[in-house]
Amino acid sequence: MDFLFQSHGLYIGIIALFGLIVGSFLNVVIYRLPKMLEQQWKQECHECFEEFPAPTEQKAFNLSIPGSHCPSCKKPVKPIDNVPVLSWLLLRGKCKHCSAKISARYPMIELLTAATVGVTAWVIPGSWWSLAVVFATFALIALFFIDFDTMLLPDQITLPLMWQVF
Ligand SMILES: [Zn+2]
């Protein structure tokens, strides 16, 4: 990792670019993790108490399944149309197939993630500690938006943060 830590400018650039890609993944986490939890809770309620109906949604649903698709026409999004920020700009915020509007929130979260970890890398020059803070920043961004949307702070994100020594 020393090559990464040697030049401060290069480190900031690589971390910001990495942030753009992770930001794209955070969009998936922010959208899907609360839904996955809800499905899991319904399943657990159903297993413990017969009066709770079985969850109707039986299809596999996690961070990787189903693949990225348009919520409106259900057509899969090709990797080329899934490039952080750029694809949204090129498609003018619309689905390629059905022209349904794609929220500007997705590229905004990608840019926010890139900018926040870019600043982190600028303030804390390349080191393992800097990388740890970058990863904590990813977690905090996901937590912020999940909290904003659902008022949940999922254990899956908060508990691993405990082991980052603050
Ligand atoms: Zn569509």
What are the pLDDT digits (tens) for 137-165?
999 999 999 999 999 999 999 998 887 65
Residue 48 alpha carbon to ligand 1 centre in Å = 39
Residue 133 alpha carbon to ligand 1 centre in Å = 37
Residue with tokens 């490039």: 83
Residue 33 alpha carbon to ligand 1 centre in Å = 22
> What's the structural domain count of the chain?
1
**In 10 A of CB 1, how many CB atoms?**
9
Residue 75 alpha carbon to ligand 1 centre in Å = 6
What are the pLDDT digits (tens) for 32-65?
999 999 999 999 999 999 888 887 766 788 998 9
Full domain range(s) for residue 97: 2-164
Tokens of 15: 């971390």
Residue 20 alpha carbon to ligand 1 centre in Å = 23
Please state which of the ranges 21-30, 120-129, 137-146, 154-163 shows the lowest mean pLDDT: 154-163
The predicted model scores a pTM of 0.90
Residue 35 alpha carbon to ligand 1 centre in Å = 21
